Homo-oligomer: A and B are copies of this chain.
Amino acid sequence: MVNMVTIYGQTEDEKQLKIFYDLALTKGKSYDWLNHLSNQIGGRLSGSVQAEQAIVYTKAELDSLGLDRVWLQPVMVPKWVRGTPEFAYLESKPGYTSNVPICALGGSVATPPGGVKANVIEVRELSDLEKLGKAKIQGKIVFFNRPMDPTLLNTFQAYSGAVNQRSSGAAEASKYGAVGVIVRSMNLRLDDYPHTGSTSYGDLTDAEKIPAAAISTNGAEFLSTTLKLDPNIQFYFKQNCKQLEDVPSFNVIGEIKGSTKPNEIIVVGGHLDSWDLGDGAHDDGAGCVQSMDVLRLLKLSGYKPKRTIRVVLFMNEENGLRGGRKYASEAEKNGEKHVFALESDAGGFTPRGFSFDSSEADFSTILNWKSLFEPYLMQQFTKGGGGADIGPLKKEGIVLAGLRPDSQRYFAHHHAENDTFEHVNKRELELGAAAMVSLIYLADKYDLGSAN
């Protein structure tokens, strides 16, 4: 009898997933939304006009879906602006210069108006700074040139292994008297796009902050080779970025009220802000429109969730995480019970699985669903983080999950000018939305995180 029920249950779930996938692949709306976000609005850096436009647009689109409630949640966000485009060159001797593509790292200070020109010292690790000491660093530009490890199949691991150069390089190099920092772009491919991303000065005073820029991977190879030929070359760069006062912004939220457990909340989301260089199609326009489509597909399918299903488009993931923190603190303040949160923030590529941050018991439950995703070629159900924006929701009991798309191409676009709509494939994007709504359905039906 138990077997019968199990078999019957599986068949019902199989049918339901097929409904979701068919709807997503034939009537999905994520691609149209992404087209608008990318091509009509563009890069959505926190505090920018485009970020505002994206809030207005996505709120209006959610309003049109007939959800039970749509609202904006106010949050103050940092406002960093790039200013006029950056400029850099190598100078082998006076008058002999070669331009290289750079971009300021998010949060960096500007150079002096006339730029910075200095000798360069190349390092691989943050710890190299201590080995070299002030004597060899003082007055120079530190060039962090450790590539992402190409042998790692999960490119996010390769990113994790290299990104401290970008996030802490300037703060560390300043302590040894460096006058600027140039960081090899977090990109596995050799090309001409510099990749931005946030850098933090930690507790440095304003006077101690030194300008930091990313150089394209081809530029990094060129600079490194040139330094080997002549360690005395000079590097010049100029950037005009600025950290302004915080400004008001919003998380965009919509929900379908639960039929029997409306006070238990399941969140699905991505972040609405992006960097300013591209149009933020993969990072994270894709996650936003997939999350919006999850609620739309739920309604379209006729499935009535027991719990409240909430889409949250978080603001300011890239340079502050203020939206994620605000959402979690409001939830805490209002005594809301969140049982499950799913984020899509790894690009709009073919989904390969999910990662889960959960108890062992909940993970066992989840593994029971794995076979349901086999027909949809989702085979990776692993332990791991959910996503930056939903991180602040973490507490005993809640299950956090992240969509895991194929990661091979992601870092060729991440935070760069070529993170654009034409690099997102419609079907791949829709398969992500289908996988997400399927997981939300199972989590709701089988009370994931709810017993805690």
Chain A interface residues (CB < 8 Å from chain B): 21-22, 25-26, 150-151, 153, 155, 188-189, 350, 352, 375-377, 379-380, 406, 408-409, 412, 425-428, 431
Contact = CB atoms under 8 A, between A and B. Distances in A.
B427 A188 contact: yes
Given A189-B425, A189-B426, 20 more contacts: A21-B151, A21-B153, A22-B151, A25-B150, A25-B151, A26-B150, A26-B151, A153-B376, A153-B377, A155-B427, A188-B427, A189-B427, A350-B350, A350-B408, A352-B377, A377-B380, A406-B406, A408-B425, A408-B428, A409-B427
Contacts of A153: 21, 375-377, 431
10 contacts: A26-B150, A26-B151, A150-B427, A153-B375, A155-B427, A189-B426, A350-B350, A377-B380, A408-B427, A409-B428
Nearest to A155: B427
Contacts of A155: 427
Contacts of A21: 151, 153
A352 B351 CA distance: 12
Contacts of A426: 189
A218 to B, nearest CB: 13
A71 B113 CA distance: 64
Nearest to A429: B408
Copies of chain A in the complex: 2
A147 to B, nearest CB: 10
Contacts of A151: 21-22, 25-26
Contacts of A379: 379
A431 B151 CA distance: 10
A380 B374 CA distance: 10
A26 B158 CA distance: 14
A298 B119 CA distance: 44
A428 B408 CA distance: 7
A26 to B, nearest CB: 6
A427 B191 CA distance: 14
A376 B153 CA distance: 6
A228 to B, nearest CB: 20
Contacts of A350: 350, 406, 408
A376 B150 CA distance: 13
A403 to B, nearest CB: 15
Listed residue (A21, A380, A408) with the most chain B CB atoms within 10 angstroms of its CB: A408
A235 to B, nearest CB: 28
A422 to B, nearest CB: 11
Nearest to A25: B150
A352 to B, nearest CB: 7
A375 B157 CA distance: 13
A374 to B, nearest CB: 9
Nearest to A189: B426
Contacts of A352: 377
A408 B151 CA distance: 24
A328 to B, nearest CB: 32
A156 B274 CA distance: 35
Contacts of A428: 408-409
Nearest to A374: B379
Contacts of A375: 153
Nearest to A18: B151
Contacts of A406: 350, 406
Contacts of A150: 25-26, 427
A375 B427 CA distance: 26
A430 to B, nearest CB: 9
A379 B377 CA distance: 9
> Shortest 5 CB-CB distances between A and B: which pairs?
A379-B379, A25-B150, A408-B427, A22-B151, A408-B428
Contacts of A412: 425
Nearest to A431: B408
